[in-house]
Amino acid sequence: MSNVPEIFGCNVFNDATMKERLPKDTYKALKKTIEEGKSLDINVANVVAHSMKEWAIEQGATHYTHWFQPMTGVTAEKHDGFISPTDDGKVIMSFSGKELIKGEPDASSFPSGGIRATFEARGYTAWDPTSYAFIKDGSLCIPTAFCSYTGEILDKKTPLLRSMEVMSKQAVRILRVFGDTTTKRVKTTVGAEQEYFLIDKEVYKQRKDLIYCGRTLFGARPPKGQELDDHYFGSIKPRVSAYMKELDEELWKHGILSKTKHNEVAPAQHELAPIFDTSNIATDHNQLTMELMKRVAEKHGLVCLLHEKPFAGVNGSGKHNNWAISTNTGKNLLDPSKNPRENTVFLVFLAAVIRAVDEHQDLLRIAVASAGNDHRLGANEAPPAIISMYLGDDLTEVLRSIINDEDYESKSRTVMDTNVDAIPNFTKDTSDRNRTSPFAFTGNKFEFRMLGSSENIGCANTILNTIVADVLADFADELEKAEDVKAAAEELVKKTVIDHKRIIFNGDNYSEEWVAEAAKRGLLNLRTLPDAMPLYCSKENIELFGKHGIYSEVELRSRSEILLENYSKLINIEALTALDMAKKDILPAVAAYIRELAETANLIKSIDSELVTSPETELVKKLSNLLSCFTKKIDALDKAVVGAKEIEDVAANALYYKDSVLSAMNELRVVADEMESNMSSKLWPYPSYGTMLFNV
Point out which residues bind Mg ion (CB under 5 A).
193, 320
686 CB-contact burial (10 Å; exposed 0-12 / middle 13-18 / buried 19+): buried
Is 289 or 617 the residue whose CB approaches ligand ADP more closely?
Answer: 289
- Rounded least distance, CB 447 to Mg ion, Å: 6
Provide the CA 394 distance to its chain's centre, in angstroms: 30
With CB under 5 to 8 Å by kind, the binding choice for 173 among ligand ADP, Mg ion, none is none
H helices of 582-614, in order, are: 587-607
Is 332 or 410 the residue whose CB approaches ligand ADP more closely?
Answer: 332
- Rounded least distance, CB 282 to ligand ADP, Å: 8
- Rounded least distance, CB 368 to Mg ion, Å: 15
- Rounded least distance, CB 193 to Mg ion, Å: 5
Within 10 A of 171 (CB to CB), how many other CB atoms are there? 27
- Rounded least distance, CB 326 to ligand ADP, Å: 6
Looking at 274, 336, 458, 530, which residue binds ligand ADP (CB under 6 A)? Answer: 274
Looking at 101, 210, 273, 550, which residue binds ligand ADP (CB under 6 A)? Answer: 273
Interaction pattern, residues 242-271, with ligand ADP; x per rule: CB under 6 A? ------------------------------
Dihedral of the alpha carbons of 278, 293, 529, 648, in degrees to the nearest 10: 110
- Print burial letters for 447-464: b (CB count within 10 Å at least 16), e (below 16): bbbbbbbbbbbbbbbbbb
Q: Which stretch binds ligand ADP (CB under 6 A): 97-105, 215-223, 288-296, 316-324?
A: 316-324
Beta carbons of 139 and 80 less than 8 angstroms apart: no
680: CB partners within 8 A, 6+ apart: 593
Q: Is 54 helix (H, G, I), strand (E, B) or coil?
A: helix
276 near ligand ADP, judged by CB under 6 A:
yes
Q: Which stretch binds ligand ADP (CB under 6 A): 78-86, 319-327, 416-424, 457-465?
A: 319-327
332 near ligand ADP, judged by CB under 6 A:
yes
Within 10 A of 206 (CB to CB), how many other CB atoms are there? 14
Beta carbons of 395 and 340 less than 8 angstroms apart: yes
275 near ligand ADP, judged by CB under 6 A:
yes
- Rounded least distance, CB 428 to ligand ADP, Å: 15
Q: Is 608 helix (H, G, I), strand (E, B) or coil?
A: coil
Query: Which residues 441-480 are close enough to bind ligand ADP by CB under 6 A?
Result: 444-445
- Rounded least distance, CB 189 to ligand ADP, Å: 4
Q: Of 532, 572, 497, 445, which is closest to residue 189 (Cα–Cα)?
A: 445
**For the chain, how far is it from start to end, CA to CA, in angstroms?**
23
324 near ligand ADP, judged by CB under 6 A:
yes
Report which residue's Cβ sits closest to ligand ADP: 191
- Rounded least distance, CB 367 to Mg ion, Å: 18
- Rounded least distance, CB 251 to ligand ADP, Å: 13
Is 65 or 321 the residue whose CB approaches ligand ADP more closely?
Answer: 321
If binding means CB under 6 A, how many residues of this protein chain bind ligand ADP? Answer: 15
With CB under 5 to 8 Å by kind, the binding choice for 274 among ligand ADP, Mg ion, none is ligand ADP
- Rounded to 5 degrees, what are φ and ψ at 673? -65, -35
322: CB partners within 8 A, 6+ apart: 190, 191, 192, 193, 276, 442, 445, 446, 447, 448
Which CB contacts under 8 angstroms, 24+ apart, belong to 583-586?
583/634, 585/208, 585/685, 585/686, 586/218, 586/630, 586/672, 586/675, 586/685
Query: Which residues 186-225 are close enough to bind ligand ADP by CB under 6 A?
Result: 189-191, 193
Is 183 or 332 the residue whose CB approaches ligand ADP more closely?
Answer: 332
- Rounded to 5 degrees, what are φ and ψ at 332? -85, 115
310 near ligand ADP, judged by CB under 6 A:
no
Sites of contact with ligand ADP (CB under 6 A): 189-191, 193, 273-276, 320, 322-324, 332, 444-445
